[in-house]
Structure 1
């Protein structure tokens, strides 16, 4: 979920959402992930090799590195060199058990991540990325992970459901227009938006992976007032971009919602989903 088309990758937006992201990510997926990783031999001098796709400022690494044991080397991928520089220098220095954590940055197109490129990778991760991909890109990601035999932890994909309290008759109409905007065709790419988790589940399962999904909702309001206000502007703005006819009604709606937010009288639950795909051994390979 972004603050709007022009700002969804802005450092200010990524920093603003980091605390809500950390609180929302599904910790229940870490147990099966740790079990899977512990069952694989890891070279003691190398440890885990984790690739973070579309890493932004590195919030996924800051959340996950301290929750996994053992030495870790993070390879941070993003198309924005400035964001990569921020992420690389802000990764935690130590893992859950005090083992060292290191990082390098790779600037470029995620489409180049083939199975061959992922050889030696222990885990692929991404946060708030899956819903920005196309069906073909999701299938390619699943195929690459399957070919390299590495799991994928894909967090905070939009689920297409938003609950505002108190409610307003226009909530549902704006929400539907926003979801259509998330599924738009952008520069010739048909984005998956809220359909991303279902598409990814199917893609990974077709390669024999065991897929776990858990909800990871943002709960906004109170101390998250700044994030709530920025999210509201982006949510309504995207809905109006998709359906310009909403604008005359959306303008007073947004003013009223922002006023309620400013005095602590608005709470919002933005539903997301986390997905963990674990490769299963081929028959006869164990």
Structure 2
């Protein structure tokens, strides 16, 4: 396809024309689109020329379709006008009615009937045309009411779910707030425990070091283990046990206190008791001294 570019000497406007039969088609399309105005400047290349040609063909096709539709509408309008004129002649000649002879209420009713026919989209105002249209509208109304009822049920269900969701959200938010508050309290307690644990750990380490140094000093000084706190506690327990052993011995001697003493036998018993008491007292005093 050969391309010829024409440049206007007045406004330097580029016109694109195609060779052979396309030249007249594109030029006529550009002239019809812009009319008396000059064609705007554009870059001339193969793509723009092809697009312009396709636009011209599409515009021409749409114009033809529009023209056919206009002709069809004009034809229908003329048919309707002819039919209306025929009906007017029938009414005038057969019944003797005309638009001028109708009363105002009748004219209003007739206008309302026509308006209803236009709204319903029927071809004429006969009952056979009105009834299907009214039935269709009734069916559409019933379907709309049915859809509205279904939507109302869905809306009530959604509102119920929304209420339950809001309650659940409120409960969850309250639980979250309580959990956050509890976590903050527990975090403070845990931090306090960690501080206390650190303090106790340091003190334990200090006491362990002190004990180890004291034990090392005692070992270096050759301290007798019998005077340690544990040994003294053990001696105290043994002394308490001996005191408990003395109590039944004293009770055993009580019956003999009331007997008339036999000088020789009493002397022997007294000496034995004295020796036993002396031994116990010496043992007790020894243990007390150790304590």
TM bucket normalised to smaller: under 0.3
Task: Compare the two structures and name the one with the higher strand fraction.
Answer: 1
Quick one: higher RCO (CA 8 Å, sep 6+), 1 or 2? Answer: 1
TM-score, normalised with respect to structure 2: 0.18
TM-score, normalised with respect to structure 1: 0.18
Task: Compare the two structures and name the one with the higher helix fraction.
Answer: 2
